[in-house]
Amino acid sequence: MTTSFIESESMARVPESSPRNVESSTAKVRVARRRSDRLVGTSRAIQRAREQIAVAARGRFPVWIRGDAGSNKEAIARLIHDQSEWASGGFFALDASIVPAALLTRELMGNERGVGPALATGFEGALTRYAGGTVLIENLEALPKELQHALAVTLERGEVHPIGSKSSLPLESRVIAASTHGLDALTSEGRLLPELSERLRLLEIDVPPLRERREDILQIAAHELSVRAAELEHETGRPCSVRGFSREALERLREHNWSGDERELREQVRAAVGLARTEELGPEDLLLSWDSSEQVPSFREGKRAFEHEYVTRVLRLCNGNISRAARIAKKDRKDFYDVMRRNGINPQDYRS
C-alpha cells in the first residue's frame, strides 16, 4: 500500500522581471526555475524565518542570511524580494566565490568607459542596473577587502561609485548577503570587515540544517515529489505514476543525515521520481537502501548499475525510441547508443 505524503497547496509562480540591460556573462544569475522559491515545513525555525521574511519585505534595509550549503538561502532572498515593493525591479544573484576577484568590483559597482585596456567599454554594475530591485551576494566573505570596504561605504551613504567615475550614483537596489557562516565568526576570523558586518546586522535570518529540524523532511520531500511529477507530466504529456513514498522510504528519509541539506533531499527525490517504475518510491529509488558500509558496492559497480537502470527506465518511458530517450537524457544519440550496447540493452524490448 502506498503511503502518500503530498502537499496539496499549489506553488505560487511569480514572473521574473527583466533587468534594464543585458546580463553580464561572468555573473551567476539564475532566472528560470522557481520551483524551490518557497519555504516548506512547520518547524519553529521555518516559522521564524517566515516571520523575518515578512519583516524584511516591508523595509529596504540590507539583510543577512546564514545557512549551511544547500539550505535554500537564495529561496529566502527571492521570497523577500517577491513580497516587497522591489519585486518589479528584477532579482540578481551573484556568488562571490565563483566570480574572478578582478571582476567582482565591476560586476557590482560598474565602470566608466575607457578606464583601462581591460575596461574599454562602460558597464553598469548590478547595484545600479537593478535599481528598484534586489541584489543577492552569496558567500560575501569572498569579496576582496577593498571591495568589502567600498560596499560598506555604499550601504552607509546610499551611493554607488563606479570604477573610474568622478561622481556617484544613488543606490536604489536592495542588498541581501548570504553565507554559510555567521557575521560574528566571519568578523572575528578577519574574513569580513567590521564596517561591512555592522551594515548587515539589522536583520539576520538563520536557517538551521535539516538534521536539526527533522519534522520538515517529509514535507519537503512530498512537495518536491509533487512538483517533479507535475513537471514530468508537462514534459511527456502523460500522467506521472508516482504518488508517494513507501513506509520504509519515509523512515529512511527521516533518519538520513542529509549532509547536503535541502538541496540533497530535493535532488534525490527529483531523480527518483524521474526514474520510478511504481506508484511509490522505496529506499532503493532514493539511494537510501544501504544499512552498512559492507552493503555499499564499488564505485564501478554502482555506476554500471545506475547506467543500466537509468537507460532501461528512459527507454521504457519513450517506448524504445532511442532519439527521444537521448534527448531526455541530454546526451548525443551515439553516446546514448554506446551506453545501451555497453550494458547489453536492446531497445526492441521496450517497444510496444
Q: Which CATH superfamily is domain 44-208 in?
A: P-loop containing nucleotide triphosphate hydrolases (3.40.50.300)
**Range from 48-57, 190-199, 270-279 carrying the lowest mean pLDDT:** 270-279
SS3 label, residue 303: helix
| Whether pLDDT at 248 is above 70 | yes
pLDDT (0 to 100) of residue 7: 30
Q: Which grid cell sits at 36?
A: 524551490
Q: Boundaries of CATH 1.10.8.60 in the chain?
A: 210-294
DSSP character string of 82-145: HTSTTGGG-EEEEETTTS-HHHHHHHHHEE-TTSBTTB-S-EE-HHHHTTTSEEEEESGGGS-H
Report d(CA 52, CA 203) in Å as an integer. 8
Helix axes 322-329, 333-342, angle to 10 degrees: 100
Q: Boundaries of CATH 1.10.10 in the chain?
A: 297-352
Q: What is the pLDDT of residues 292-343, one digit of tens each?
A: 444 556 667 677 777 887 888 888 888 888 998 888 888 888 889 888 888 8
Q: Are 127 and 109 in contact (CB under 8 A)?
A: yes
Q: What is the pLDDT of residues 48-86, one digit of tens each?
A: 999 999 999 999 899 999 999 999 899 999 999 999 988
Q: Boundaries of CATH 3.40.50.300 in the chain?
A: 44-208
CATH topology classification for 297-352: Arc Repressor Mutant, subunit A (1.10.10)
CATH topology classification for 210-294: Helicase, Ruva Protein; domain 3 (1.10.8)
74-78: long-range pairs with CB below 8 Å, 24+: 74/30, 74/136, 74/138, 74/178, 75/36, 75/37, 75/38, 75/39, 76/39, 76/49, 76/205, 76/207, 77/134, 77/136, 77/176, 77/178, 78/34, 78/37
**Range from 31-40, 189-198, 229-238 carrying the lowest mean pLDDT:** 31-40
